[in-house]
């Protein structure tokens, strides 16, 4: 799967319709959660996705504004609630922090989904045609690859975006016959086994002063006023700029090893546990290690590369390290697991000096 993002140029009337659709979906999501909670608390029964979807036609007759939203979009809202409860049950069974699904307040629900391409959504003459909304102009319309499956309409601080998810066939790259090990850090973002060091961009640290100023400006505004709304938009845009800079850096960094190496060995990290160290939490989160590794896995899978998770012991001097297979990194089902030996001298030196 590959997602193509295009910015929408809706008219004022279409913006109002998009906002109304998001608000209707938010209310339906909250209603679905409350319905499940009430049924379990009062009658001791669990309501599933199919049962809630079966009640939608009757609910549409009772709630007129629900009729102005495409049926597939409403069903996807119910599916989101079902996934939230499934994740809650999974965490309870695993003994993790449960986190009971919560209702979404205003401004906390910013997207809706057409789960089937061609059923309520299509592209036509450079426009994205959405059922119940209309034909929306696309800014800098980019062609998509593969077969479109899903369309997600997202509201960001700087406008509306269409995320078109397509099924793209793998396009293996020719094997260069090389392997590389990657060790991430805080001083330099990463050190490769060939000695190359990648500088840490520190996207959040660079913008931290402006973010603080925008946050203080918002705090001084009267809640609910127009000036408060404008200040909130400026703050959201500042955070969005940091997010995009970090993601652009991640795509750039992940592309190089995929193009140049057959086997890529990454360090096994418990990032969730590492950010519990308060003095280092901001630097670890700012680096965005998890984003880079996830993008690296996706690019490697499409290019036919193999990604392994390193079992390199800490604070020992080895010239070579044996890597264990990383299941999520295997590009194709049925690919035999292979033991890869890579030169990790640079990684060890960095670990001992950090």
Residues 162 and 186 in one domain: no
Least-confidence region, from 51-65, 270-284, 327-341: 327-341
pLDDT in the model for residue 312: 54
Task: Yes or no: say if 300 and 255 are a contact pair by the CB < 8 Å rule.
Answer: no
Residues 151 and 29 in one domain: yes
Q: Is residue 117 part of a domain?
A: yes
Residues 121 and 216 in one domain: no
pLDDT tens figures, 222-277: 998 999 999 999 999 999 999 999 999 999 989 988 988 888 888 888 888 888 88
Q: Is residue 174 part of a domain?
A: no
- 121 contact partners, CB below 8 Å, separation of at least 6: 114, 128, 129, 130, 131, 151
pTM of the full predicted structure? 0.79
Quote the tokens at residue 209: 């002063």
How far is Cα 164 from Cα 185, in angstroms, rounded to an integer? 34
How far is Cα 262 from Cα 279, in angstroms, rounded to an integer? 37
Residues 217 and 285 in one domain: yes
Residues 183 and 322 in one domain: yes
Per-residue H/E/C for 257-309: HHHHCCEEEEECCCHHHHCCCHHHHHHHHHHCHHHHHHHHHHHHHHHCCEEEE
Cα distances from 185 to residues 143, 208, 253, in angstroms, run 37, 20, 14
Range of the domain at 80: 2-167
Beta bridge partners of 5: 163
Q: How many CB atoms lie within 10 A of CB 258?
A: 21
Q: Is residue 155 part of a domain?
A: yes
Residue where a domain terminates, one of 167, 194, 226: 167
Residue where a domain terminates, one of 126, 147, 167: 167
Q: How many domains does the chain have?
A: 2
Residues 217 and 100 in one domain: no
Q: Is residue 173 part of a domain?
A: no
How far is Cα 173 from Cα 160, in angstroms, rounded to an integer? 35
Residues 163 and 218 in one domain: no
Residues 156 and 254 in one domain: no
pLDDT in the model for residue 83: 94
């Amino acid at each position: 799967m590959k997602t193509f993002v295009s910015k929408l140029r809706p008219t004022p009337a279409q913006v109002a319709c998009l906002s109304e659709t998001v608000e209707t979906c938010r209310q339906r999501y909250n209603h679905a959660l409350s319905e499940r909670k009430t049924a379990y608390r009062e009658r001791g029964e669990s309501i599933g996705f199919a049962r809630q979807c079966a009640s939608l036609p009757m609910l549409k007759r009772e709630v007129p504004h629900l009729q102005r939203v495409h049926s597939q979009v409403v069903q996807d809202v119910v599916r989101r609630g079902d996934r939230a409860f499934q994740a809650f049950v999974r965490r309870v069974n695993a003994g993790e922090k449960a986190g009971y699904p919560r209702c979404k307040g205003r401004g906390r629900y910013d997207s809706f989904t057409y789960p089937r391409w061609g059923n309520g959504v299509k592209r036509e003459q450079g426009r994205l045609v959405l059922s119940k909304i209309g034909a929306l102009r696309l800014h800098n319309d980019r062609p998509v690859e593969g077969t479109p499956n899903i369309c997600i309409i997202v509201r960001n601080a700087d406008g509306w975006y269409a995320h078109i998810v397509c099924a793209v066939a793998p396009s293996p790259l020719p094997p260069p016959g090389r392997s590389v090990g990657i060790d991430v850090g805080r001083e330099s973002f990463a050190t490769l086994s060939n000695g190359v060091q990648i500088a840490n961009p520190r996207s959040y640290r660079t913008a931290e002063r402006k973010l603080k100023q925008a946050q203080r400006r918002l705090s001084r505004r009267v809640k609910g006023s127009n000036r408060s709304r404008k200040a909130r938009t400026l703050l959201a845009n500042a955070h969005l700029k940091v997010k995009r800079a970090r993601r652009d850096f991640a795509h750039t960094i992940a592309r190089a090893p995929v193009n140049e190496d057959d086997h890529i060995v990454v360090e096994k990290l418990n990032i969730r546990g590492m950010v519990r160290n308060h003095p280092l939490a901001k630097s670890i989160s700012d680096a965005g290690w998890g984003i880079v590794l996830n993008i690296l896995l996706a690019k490697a899978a499409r290019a036919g590369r193999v990604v392994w998770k390193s079992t390199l012991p800490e604070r020992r001097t080895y010239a070579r390290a044996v890597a264990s297979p990383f299941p999520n990194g295997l590009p194709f089902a049925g690919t035999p697991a292979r033991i890869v030996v890579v030169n990790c001298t640079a990684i060890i030196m960095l670990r001992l000096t950090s």
